Structure 1
Amino acid sequence: MPITIADVAARANVSKTTVSRVLNGKGELDEATAARVRRVIDELGYVPSARAVGLARGRTRVVGMLVPSLTWPWMGDVLQGAVDVLETEQYGLLLFTCNRGEESMRLFSAQVSSKSFDGLLVIEPEGTLDTIRTLHLRGLPVVLIDDRAHEPIALPSVGTTNEAGAAEAARHLLGLGRLRPLVVSGPERFGCTDQRLHGFADVYAAAGHPISGDRVVVGDFTLGCGRDAVAAAVAAGVEFDAVFAHNDLSAAGAMQAALDAGRRVPHDVAVVGFDDIPLAAHTQPPLTTVRQPLREMGEVAARTLLAHFEGTPLPGTPTIIPSTLTIRGSTVAPDRAVLVPAP
């Protein structure tokens, strides 16, 4: 049988409350009594539950994290960034996914009710924002890893420069003389899709080369949507000399379809993605892409939450970490890259 706090109290001839005070360093205690309790703890080999000690101190030293799924290509980088910070500060991570929809959310809600963690990091599963907002308004510290400045009630968040990153991709392609890009967007319901589309299209329009509707294809962030978009454009006779895809998977699919159609990359068609997941450096040719600072976003979100536990207010505006353009062989060799300066 495991040794309990009751066993320690009985052997030391004190109450369980006194043992708890010794463990947590709380309250005024006679030094001789405290020394006796510590000696009994050593003799019995009692190891207190970390959760019990945390609750006695008013803190679990555990952070919850709610994500849609672990299968998203960039999820591991964000998680690793958060975990690096939490482990350094001796916090644990309780991870929740929404793979089972409402069933997953019921499990998550039960853990919230039992106060199993001190605060929450969120990569928003679709359809959960109202629940997350309600929890935050009720007092649960929450930090979103995303840009939520467009929400009516902004939540603390860490995001990146979707619009500026897409604009940089546009200036790069314009600098290479690519005037007829095909755009493979993400789902229309995602805020990043709108930001990336506007950032890219605005630069082309300002340069006198507006992007017509037949060169914008709504995708779903998969390899297949990029492949299908390019194949359909080729079959329909749409003229394009570049592809800007809203993530790296669809960019890789687009590049493969272009090659299958006999188009050389980058000579005939230059291809740019978004995210800079590990795959991007290993496509043939390697993919030029807008790098999201994924690990950094996880790190900053975790630091923001831990700082709040120590008394720092959560920020009222999004924390933005800039994206950067990583130039590889799918557009041009890096030493020949040209950028159109930002206005």
Structure 2
Amino acid sequence: MPITIADVAKHAGVSKTTVSRVLNGKGELNAATAARVRQVIAELGYVPSAGAVGLARGRTQIVGMLVPSLTWPWIGQVLQGVVDVVEAEGFGLLLFTCNRGEESLRRFAQQVSAKSFDGLLVIEPEGTLDYITELHQAGLPVVLIDDRGHQPIFPSVATTDRSGGASAARHLLELGRRRPVVVTGPESFGCVQDRLAGFADEYAEAGHPLPPEHVLLGDFTFEQGRSAVGRLLASGASFDAVFAQNDLSASGALLALREAGLRIPEDVAVVGFDDVPLAAYSEPALTTVHQPLREMGDAAARMLLAHFKGTPLPTAAEVLPTHLVVRDSTRSRT
């Protein structure tokens, strides 16, 4: 039979309330009594349930995290940044994805109703914004990571997408590339619009406005990057650079260029965005805009945990800088 708090109280000769106080550090207790209770706990091997401790403390010591999918290449780095902070502070992490659409969201809602976590970190899955807003307005602390839709109602941690796009453009202009194409992500994402605007503005200011037909709508996947660039090559269009708005689609673009017999970077230079581990091991190694992904997860988790300790959630986004990492896809190896 499992050991219960009543067993501990009986063996220690105290009440269950006293045992609970020892477990949760609440109330003044005689030092000898507290020591005796801890000794009995150790001897009996009693392990209090997380739910019971959470109720006694007024919190679960668990952080919830809602993400679209674990298949996104950069999710793992953000998640590691979150885990590093959460575990160091003695919290657990309850991770939810939206892989199964409405079914996933229903299961998440059940955990919300059960008050299974104290606060929520969110990389916004498509179609969940209204629900997350309701939770936040109802009192659940929420912090967005990579605020793709620019939602000022939420505290958030973001990165400099616009200046990241601009840095990619400046680099290509310095290399003499005057006819770039851009492979975007989904149009509804704020980061997509920011990266495109930063890139296009730099080219316009340099006297080389970006033609609309050189903006290729993508979806941040390898296959879309490959097919978008492949179709452009088949059309006979002339271009000397590709700026793909994430590393996965940039890798697809690299393959399409190689399949067409083009040399990288001699014929076409390629720049990505994110700097996931894949980028350094592409062929050729991919020049990319580095996002501080692990640091974003770290900052968001610290923001939420600080709130649990009484620090108000900030009203302005915490913005971490990007920077360009130059590799062989734009740098000649000769």
Give the TM-score of the pair, scaled to structure 2.
0.95
- Summarize the Cα distance change of 1:285–1:3 in structure 2 as closer, same or farther, 3 Å threshold: same
User: What pairs up with 1:173-252 in 2 under 5 angstroms?
Assistant: 173-252=172-251
- Kindly indicate whether the alpha-carbon contact (under 8 Å) linking 2:123 and 2:146 is maintained by their aligned counterparts in 1: yes
**Structure 2 counterpart SS, 1:210:** coil
The answer for unaligned runs of 5 or more in structure 1 is 337-343
**Structure 2 counterpart SS, 1:107:** helix
Matched residues, number: 334
* Residue equivalent to 2:120: 120
* Residue equivalent to 2:262: 263
- The Cα of 1:35 is off from its aligned counterpart by 5.0
- Kindly indicate whether the alpha-carbon contact (under 8 Å) linking 1:227 and 1:253 is maintained by their aligned counterparts in 2: yes
- The Cα of 1:240 is off from its aligned counterpart by 0.4
| 1:37-62 CA distance string (max 9 Å, x none) | 44443443322224422321112211
- Summarize the Cα distance change of 1:260–1:33 in structure 2 as closer, same or farther, 3 Å threshold: closer
* Residue equivalent to 1:301: 300
One-letter code of the match for 2:60? T
- The Cα of 1:11 is off from its aligned counterpart by 3.5
| Cα distance in 2 between the residues matched to 1:248 and 1:120 | 28
- The Cα of 1:16 is off from its aligned counterpart by 2.0
* Residue equivalent to 1:339: none
User: What pairs up with 1:154-173 in 2 under 5 angstroms?
Assistant: 154-173=153-172
* Residue equivalent to 1:59: 59
| 1:291-324 CA distance string (max 9 Å, x none) | 1110010011111111111111111011000011
| Cα distance in 2 between the residues matched to 1:241 and 1:135 | 48
| Cα distance in 1 between the residues matched to 2:92 and 2:159 | 26
One-letter code of the match for 1:81? G
The answer for unaligned runs of 5 or more in structure 2 is none
User: What pairs up with 1:1-343 in 2 under 5 angstroms?
Assistant: 1-29=1-29, 33-34=33-34, 36-147=36-147, 150-151=150-151, 153-333=152-332
- Summarize the Cα distance change of 1:316–1:148 in structure 2 as closer, same or farther, 3 Å threshold: farther
| Cα distance in 2 between the residues matched to 1:189 and 1:148 | 8
| 1:211-242 CA distance string (max 9 Å, x none) | 11111110111111111122111111111000
| 1:124-153 CA distance string (max 9 Å, x none) | 1111111111111111111110136733x4
| 1:227-275 CA distance string (max 9 Å, x none) | 1122111111111000011111111111111121121110010000111
| Cα distance in 2 between the residues matched to 1:94 and 1:86 | 11
RMSD: 1.8
**Structure 2 counterpart SS, 1:243:** strand
- The Cα of 1:13 is off from its aligned counterpart by 4.4
One-letter code of the match for 2:96? F
**Structure 2 counterpart SS, 1:225:** helix
**Structure 1 counterpart SS, 2:178:** coil
**Structure 1 counterpart SS, 2:63:** strand
- Kindly indicate whether the alpha-carbon contact (under 8 Å) linking 1:148 and 1:154 is maintained by their aligned counterparts in 2: no
| Cα distance in 2 between the residues matched to 1:46 and 1:224 | 53
User: Which 10-residue stretch deviates more, 16-25 or 302-311?
Assistant: 16-25
- Kindly indicate whether the alpha-carbon contact (under 8 Å) linking 2:122 and 2:144 is maintained by their aligned counterparts in 1: yes
**Structure 2 counterpart SS, 1:48:** coil
**Structure 1 counterpart SS, 2:27:** coil
| Cα distance in 1 between the residues matched to 2:329 and 2:174 | 15
- The Cα of 1:14 is off from its aligned counterpart by 3.8
**Structure 2 counterpart SS, 1:140:** coil
- Kindly indicate whether the alpha-carbon contact (under 8 Å) linking 1:327 and 1:333 is maintained by their aligned counterparts in 2: no
| Cα distance in 1 between the residues matched to 2:208 and 2:83 | 45
Identity over the aligned pairs, expressed in percent? Answer: 69
- Kindly indicate whether the alpha-carbon contact (under 8 Å) linking 1:287 and 1:328 is maintained by their aligned counterparts in 2: yes
- Kindly indicate whether the alpha-carbon contact (under 8 Å) linking 2:266 and 2:332 is maintained by their aligned counterparts in 1: no
- Summarize the Cα distance change of 1:39–1:178 in structure 2 as closer, same or farther, 3 Å threshold: closer
Give the TM-score of the pair, scaled to structure 1.
0.92
